[in-house]
Amino acid sequence: MAEKLDTGASLDDLKTFEGTMSLIDSKEFIKKNLLFALDHYGDRVKFVGPDCGLKGWNPPQVAYELLRRTYEVIKDVKTSSKGYC
């Protein structure tokens, strides 16, 4: 969400389904944040997931997309050469 709002998107841009979907952070942004956390906290990171609750995302497809992107990033980081997770 922060990624989209940082670009200066207007409230009217976010009122549509596509606008709501655009609030979900990109996989690149999620990966950047995950790698930062892993570099900073190391083995103390026990669980990884979205940075917010999912109940407020309406329609449910938005929450699903956030979970899907997060899962793909975690899977990618697990198989990366850094050996995280």
Reported as a single tens digit per residue, the pLDDT across 49-81 is 887 778 887 888 999 999 999 999 999 999 985
Give the angle subtended at the CA of 38 by the CAs of 56 and 45, to the nearest 5°.
65
Number of domains in the chain: 1
Both tokens assigned to 23: 């609030």
Global pTM? 0.77
For residue 31, pLDDT beyond 70: yes
Give domain status of residue 74, yes or no: yes
Residue 52: predicted pLDDT: 73
Residue 20 covered by a domain: no
- 83 located within any domain: yes
Q: Does 37 reside within a domain?
A: yes
Q: Which range marks the domain in which residue 48 is found?
A: 25-85
Contacts of 46 (CB under 8 A, 6+ apart): none
Q: What is the pLDDT of residue 71?
A: 96
Query: How many CA atoms, within 13 angstroms, populate the side-chain half-sphere of residue 57?
Result: 21
pLDDT of 82 strictly over 70 = no
Whole-number average pLDDT of the chain:
85
The residue among 51, 74, 65, 53 whose CA lies nearest residue 18 is 65
